[in-house]
Amino acid sequence: MTPRNPIDVAAEIKVSILGLYGGRDDGIPQDSVAQMRTALATGSAAAKGCEIKVYPAAGHAFFADYRPSYRADDAADGWTRMLA
């Protein structure tokens, strides 16, 4: 019953993750992304292997092709990174 945020468990990550963020996402401030990068860099080997990519001109839901916030180039790049 005690929720934890991603940054609270960053050091304990057991597998590498890919984080794709919009630089203009008002819901996820860039200082939070920077804090997560720092937490991952000081965590487990898997945490250190995580990748965070910020698309500077993208906002929230840039991958949702049914929304006005969709950014085709950023979504395509994110998809390629996910597959890799």
Mean pLDDT by 10 residues, the chain (84 residues): 89 92 95 95 93 97 96 98 96
The b/e string for 64-74 (b: 16+ C-beta within 10 A; e otherwise) is eeeeeeebeeb
* Domain containing residue 17: 6-77
Domain-embedded: residue 31: yes
In this prediction, residue 1 carries a pLDDT of 84
Domain-embedded: residue 82: no
Domain-embedded: residue 84: no
In this prediction, residue 11 carries a pLDDT of 86
With 0.75 as the threshold, say if the pTM is over it.
yes
Structural domain count of the chain: 1
- Calculated CA dihedral for residues 2, 61, 63, 11, nearest 10 degrees: -30
In this prediction, residue 73 carries a pLDDT of 98
- Taking CA atoms, 46 is separated from 11, 40, 52, 62, 81, in Å, by 9, 9, 13, 27, 17
Domain-embedded: residue 1: no
Domain-embedded: residue 12: yes
Contact 52, 41 (CB under 8 A): no
Domain-embedded: residue 83: no
